[in-house]
Amino acid sequence: TNVFNGSNIAVQVTQQQLEERGYSLTPEQMQSLAQAYSSLVSANTQANQLVTLESPGGEQQDPGAGVQNILGFIMGGMMVFYAYFTGAYASNTILTEEENGTLERLFGTATPATVILIGKLLAAAAMILVQLTVLIAFGRLAFGIQWGSLGLLVLFILVNTLGAASYGMFAISLAKDRRMAGVIMGAGNTVTGMLGMAGIFMLSSPTPNTAIDTLTLLVPQGWANRMLISIMEGLSLER
């Protein structure tokens, strides 16, 4: 049935195109065209190669590679999302210790308050560093994701480790207690994280919205995703 319907459509389209140019098909030519279409379908059904994907340069592309690239972009975006969420969550221990009274006792010791806060920052950074490294390695081994230049990837991990940890300290500094911190970590991180991923969602769009793409740069997650996308698309240290 599909072959019959397809041959009819092929004949109709051909006839319409020729009529627009002042030509027409004879009944014998229509029958020959229908038979040629049926033969083509029969010859290619087993190989499943009626339609092939080719790049503008004429090189055949593997459809699985496109799916793999999309998976890599989405996984990268979620990786950035959770890195900044981890930064805020780890920094929330400052408010917990303040409410429990341990932070005041820490500040009462000979250790400078700056050193204590730097220690909190480094603890959050260590968690984020391990998280990013493990997820990138897992994506490469489990899904075969090509992350791009190793040197730039290491730079991405280091920059975003410090960025996410600093973001967490800043976000928690806006909260007066853990209840307010919960709102910041929940609503605040969700909104900024999803806004930062908007550029990834538009990668498959034939007409991306430049305004939304610009808005993503209002949040640190947007810059992180922009950097990762550039690396995955072939940015190298030589360029």
Residue 134 is predicted with a pLDDT of 94
Dist. CA 35–CA 40, nearest whole Å: 9
> Is the model's pLDDT at 123 over the cut of 60?
yes
Structure confidence at residue 95 (pLDDT): 85
Predicted pLDDT at 91: 84
Supply the pLDDT for residue 154: 94
Band of pLDDT at residue 126, cut at 50, 70 and 90: very high
Split at pLDDT 50, 70, 90, the class of 61 is very low
Q: What confidence tier does 65 reach under pLDDT thresholds 50, 70, 90?
A: low
**How would residue 41 be classed by pLDDT, with cut points 50, 70 and 90?**
low
What tokens does 50 get?
């009626």
169 vs 4, higher pLDDT: 169
Q: Is-contact 136 79, C-beta < 8 A?
A: yes
Q: Please report the pLDDT score of residue 125 as a whole number.
A: 94
Kindly report, residue by residue over 139-197, the tens digit of the pLDDT: 999 888 889 889 999 999 999 999 999 998 888 888 888 788 888 778 888 888 888 88
At residue 108, the pLDDT reads: 81
Q: Is residue 60 helix, strand or coil?
A: strand
CB 172 within 8 A of CB 87: no
Please name every residue paired with 60 in a beta bridge, in sequence order, or none if there are none: 54
For range 4-24, the mean pLDDT: 70
> What pLDDT is attached to residue 54?
54
Angle at 177 between CA 97 and CA 196, to 5 degrees: 105
Q: Would you say 239 and 215 are in contact if contact means Cβ atoms under 8 Å apart?
A: no
Band of residue 63 on the pLDDT scale cut at 50, 70, 90? very low
pLDDT tens figures, 207-226: 767 788 888 889 999 999 99
Mean of the pLDDT values across residues 4-13?
Answer: 68
Query: Cα–chain-centroid distance for residue 37?
Result: 41
Model confidence at 135, in pLDDT bands (50, 70, 90)? Answer: very high
